[in-house]
Every structure is written in C-alpha cells, then in structure tokens.
C-alpha cells in the first residue's frame, strides 16, 4: 500500500511539473532570466531607459499571460498619468501610465493569448523616470510574467525580474563612456564640465525631473562646456556618438 501511495504522489508531482509552461524572455539580446535586474540611470522623458520584454511561448499549448507588479520601493509619492507620464507599463499591446502593487497588464481577465511558438509584440516594455521619494535611494519595481486562465486566476509565475533606477553611476558607466572615446575630467562642476574626446559626439544635460537643460556639440580634443547658468543640483550628462551609442554619468553642479 505504501508503495502505491508513494507512486501516486510521485506521479502527481511529475504531472504538475510537466504542466508548467516553458517560455523565453529577452530584453533585446539579453536574456531575462529568473532574478534578472535591469538598472537605469536615466530620467530623460525624451529617451528613457526601457526594459524591453519579448516573450516566446516554447510550450505546446497556448498561454494566457500578464505582466504583474509584485513589489515597489521608494515610490510612495509617485504620480503618473497620460499628460505627465513618469512610467510606462506595456504588455500584450496595452500600455498603462500608472501602476499599483499587484497591478497587471493587459487589463482583460484572461490577459493576452500567446500561441505555441509565437512571441509578443516588440513594443512591450517597462520604464520609469521617477527620481524617488528619497533621491538618495534607488527606485525599484519588481515584475513578474504570470500565467492566468481565461477568468484571470493565476496559475503560475513564469519569470521574476526587477527594474531598478539609481542616480549613482557605477564604474561600468565610466568604462562605457571611455569605450566611446570620451573622458569626463570633473563630475563636480563649478562653472564648466571638462571633457576629452577622440571623436565627435552630442552632450545633453538632464535634470532629475527628466528635462533637458543644456545641449552641446562635443568635438575631438579637449574642451570645456559652460554650465555656469545651471542651478546647484544633481544632473545627468548624456553623450551620444555618431553611431547613436549612448552613455551617461551623474554630475553635481555646485
């Protein structure tokens, strides 16, 4: 009898595991694995850092899918609407400009249906340009791709990942800038931002509200960009080269 019961339990577990659908998820060429963290340093409303979410159904049956907010941090004062969007939450050809804990998109109970072997629209993404309740701390949105049934009941969580904004640029940001052939010689600015470049580029200075406050052309060689007219605050210096590659760092205007 014990052997029969054990075999029945083992069969039930194996059956449940077999029913878990298999998907792949990518942010452009980067795989969104379980626990993947996408980090943004940009508050540019014109060119936000988007976490693109392309999902492919690798299972043999159609899937009803939704994108869900499973956690939020440093966002209590976040206010976003269609006229003044601070974020976009897009999945299954539907976009929201405001989110709440536990919120999902699409809004239809059954989400959207992804056929076997099919992928969702390349335009699906998440981004935030909210600086945070406390601008010294990161803004974090925990996201999940969930499977639901036609009535909206959740059946499985297929992938957990995170969108993180932080104002602090790390060593990788300076390395990325140097790979573009650009060196910023002072990140604390009194009057000028001093730059050495080995190629032409464009500079855009962005405030913490995502507004562009200064633009300048960068030419090969050493130069100083006048920032004396800016108020004392934290800004982001975003550089774009002729190949349309971008990198940015945080600067402080005294």
CB atoms near residue 61 (< 10 Å) = 9
The pTM (predicted TM-score) of the whole model is 0.64
Say if residue 102 is preceded by a cis peptide, omega within 30 of 0: no
Q: Are residues 25 and 105 in the same domain?
A: yes
Q: Are residues 74 and 156 in the same domain?
A: yes
Mean pLDDT for the stretch of residues 217-241: 91
Q: Which of 29-33, 42-46, 92-96, 137-141 has the lowest mean pLDDT?
A: 42-46
Percent share of the chain, pLDDT over 90: 59
Q: Are residues 32 and 100 in the same domain?
A: yes
Of 165, 181, 212, the domain-final residue: 165
> Which residues of 16-62 form beta strands (DSSP E)?
23-27, 30-31, 36-40, 51-52, 54-57
Q: Are residues 150 and 77 in the same domain?
A: yes
Q: Are 33 and 162 in contact (CB under 8 A)?
A: no
Mean of pLDDT over the chain: 87
On the question of pLDDT at 127 being above 50, the answer is yes
The per-residue pLDDT for 40 is 87
Of 165, 184, 208, the domain-final residue: 165
Q: How do residues 233-246 score in pLDDT, each as one tens digit?
A: 888 888 998 888 88
Residue 91 covered by a domain: yes
- Overall domain count for the chain: 2
The per-residue pLDDT for 11 is 44
Residue 1 covered by a domain: no
Q: How do residues 62-112 score in pLDDT, each as one tens digit?
A: 999 999 999 999 999 998 877 888 999 999 999 999 999 999 999 999 999
Q: Are residues 29 and 139 in the same domain?
A: yes
The per-residue pLDDT for 173 is 67
Rounded-to-10 torsion of CA 102, 24, 44, 168: 90
Q: Are 69 and 142 in contact (CB under 8 A)?
A: yes
Helix (H, G, I), strand (E, B) or coil at 12: helix
Q: Are 54 and 122 in contact (CB under 8 A)?
A: yes
Q: Are residues 28 and 115 in the same domain?
A: yes
Q: Are 162 and 142 in contact (CB under 8 A)?
A: yes
Q: Are residues 134 and 157 in the same domain?
A: yes
Mean pLDDT for the stretch of residues 144-167: 94
pLDDT tier, 194 (very low <50, low <70, confident <90, very high otherwise): very high
**Which domain, by its residues, includes 228?**
171-253
On the question of pLDDT at 134 being above 60, the answer is yes
Residue 148 covered by a domain: yes
Residue 40 covered by a domain: yes
132, 159, 155, 129: which is closest to 145 by C-alpha?
159
């Amino acid at each position: 009898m014990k052997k029969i019961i054990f075999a029945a339990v083992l069969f039930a577990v194996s059956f449940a595991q077999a029913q878990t659908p298999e998907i792949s998820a990518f942010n452009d060429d980067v795989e969104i694995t379980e626990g993947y963290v996408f980090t943004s340093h940009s508050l540019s409303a014109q060119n936000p850092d988007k976490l693109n979410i392309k999902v492919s159904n690798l299972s043999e049956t159609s899937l009803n899918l939704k994108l869900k907010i499973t956690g939020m941090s440093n966002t209590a004062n976040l206010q976003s609407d269609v006229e003044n969007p601070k974020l976009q939450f897009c999945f299954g050809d539907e976009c929201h400009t405001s989110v709440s804990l536990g919120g999902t998109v699409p809004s239809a109970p059954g989400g959207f249906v992804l056929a076997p072997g099919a992928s969702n629209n390349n335009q699906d993404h998440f981004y935030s340009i909210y600086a945070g309740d406390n601008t010294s701390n990161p803004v974090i949105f925990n996201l999940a791709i969930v499977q639901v049934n036609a009535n909206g009941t959740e059946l499985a969580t297929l992938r957990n990942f995170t969108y993180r904004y932080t104002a602090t640029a790390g060593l990788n940001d300076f390395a990325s800038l140097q790979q573009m052939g650009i060196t910023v010689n002072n990140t604390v600015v009194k009057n000028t931002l001093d730059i050495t470049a080995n190629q032409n580029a464009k500079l855009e200075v962005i405030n913490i509200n995502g507004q562009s406050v200064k633009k300048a052309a960068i030419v090969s060689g050493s130069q100083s960009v006048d920032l004396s007219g800016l108020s004392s605050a934290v800004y982001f210096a975003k550089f774009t080269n002729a190949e349309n590659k971008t990198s940015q760092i945080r600067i402080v205007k005294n």
